[in-house]
Structure 1
Amino acid sequence: MKKYVTPVVAVAGVLITATSIVIKKKFGYDKDGYNSSGFDKNGYDREGYDENGYNQSGFDKNGYDKEGYDERGYNQSGFDKNGYDREGYDESGYDQSGFDKNGLDEYGCDKTGYDKNGYNKYGFDKYGFDKAGYDQRGNGRDYYTCEYDKILSFMKKAKNQMKQGEFGYASHDIRIGLEIGVKCVIAHSNRDYDLEQTLDKNISYCKYHELFDEDFIEQLYDAKNHCNPLQHDNDEEKTYGQLHFSYKTLERLSEYVFPLTAIIQ
């Protein structure tokens, strides 16, 4: 049996089609809101991407923005804009502090600044000596041992002189000990500094470069002043208290020199 489309239905279909054509011609968009190129009024296709392939959030079909980063901020290689991956390491394997997953920097040193053999990136151990046993000035532990022994010798002499009331001699020997000790500390920290300076200038150098804490710097200045030679007849004589203070200062200074000697090895 044949089916016939009634004239009314046929006419309605024609009208709808004609209307769609008129709308599309007039406005450029079909009934679903897309133009002939397949984009809506906002410039996005049926899948939600613009002509450059990005959605309204600014990401492409693979989930990356125009700069190549995903919504969490990582590129296709897995690094963020600062060059670090999701675990916080750069392409060389170091974190922002410069250490790898084993806690070592590019020189193989840990966070204390030393490698597994106890040397820093400059090749010196925690006492400032290289593998050959020399510091940056070229002095070995034997040199500092010799200087340390001199300090002990002057301390011994000064102590006996103080007991005998020979304050002038004690003052002289303590001062020499102070000069030796301060020079040792400076020599070990600076290979170019001219050590042939006055004790006052050498203490000032230590202060500027923070080789000692502030309290001990002031103690060194006071000890130096107590041990200054008498310049005039009306200068006050040294007292036992002043010399005892200076002696204890020299004793403390010797403790800074001791770690540089071969005695601790």
Structure 2
Amino acid sequence: MKQTNSINKGKKLIVLGFVTIALLFIIYGRYQDPELLTPSAIDSIQRIAYGFYITLLASFGAIAFGLYRYHKGKIQNNEKNISTIIALVAWNSKSKKIFIATFIGYGIFFSLVSGTLVYQPEVSFSIHYGAEIPSGFVAPCCGDIGYMPKIIIYLTEHVGLQIIPINLVLQIIVSYLVALNTSIAINAYTFSKKGSGMSGIGAIAGAFIACPTCAGTFFSVFIGTASGIALSIALAQLQTALIAISIPILLVTPYIMARKLRNPDGSCKIL
């Protein structure tokens, strides 16, 4: 009973976290009208922007703790089902090391292709933007829902961070799913090539979600500049489709691989 409560509470925390993030984006979107950015309102909107990121971090914390409780409850219950096998495989020390390394590595890669980590050797931030090095600020307005408030950090004259909320959320979600897939795949020595391919497709699509221009650049190397630009525009318009392709694939693949680790009686083969 205690383990079941842990699983249920974990699910509730995960749902609460994602619902809070969605509401956060919608509510903050109401403050993106440039006409609202009057001198008297700037300080208030700036404080709301700070509150946005505090709430966003709290939501990530709720999701992370919910996942922890869910996985732990599944392991303690030790039921003979696919989700329990995923939890068991992902919980061992080898998988944890693989997960952490992949999560960090893919997160850095995603940061580069999405423009979160910015390197501009031809631009001097202090000269072109009048920025102090190092420094940072939160830009509270104005942009589409999910793209504001934006955090800008100047680390050096040529290296900086541009943290956009939707990119940050996608980066964490996709990096988590890629890391989970990788940790299971390395343990699942009997998983099919088809399952591995699906995971790879999901990872590549996920990398391009936050940066359609990067996808255009990628394709232009093989197809030509004109075609690359056209594809970039098309991908920008089909950003939702990229998300729909990437995340569901990364969600389904662990279940496909876990089936390969399931004994006839439902228990896990590698434990």
The interval holding the TM-score normalised by the smaller chain is: under 0.3
Higher normalized helix content (fraction of residues)? 2
Q: Which has the higher contact order (CA 8 A, sep 6+)?
A: 2
Higher normalized strand content (fraction of residues)? 2
* TM-score in terms of structure 1 length: 0.26
Q: Please tell me whether Structure 1 or Structure 2 has the larger radius of gyration of its CA atoms.
A: 1
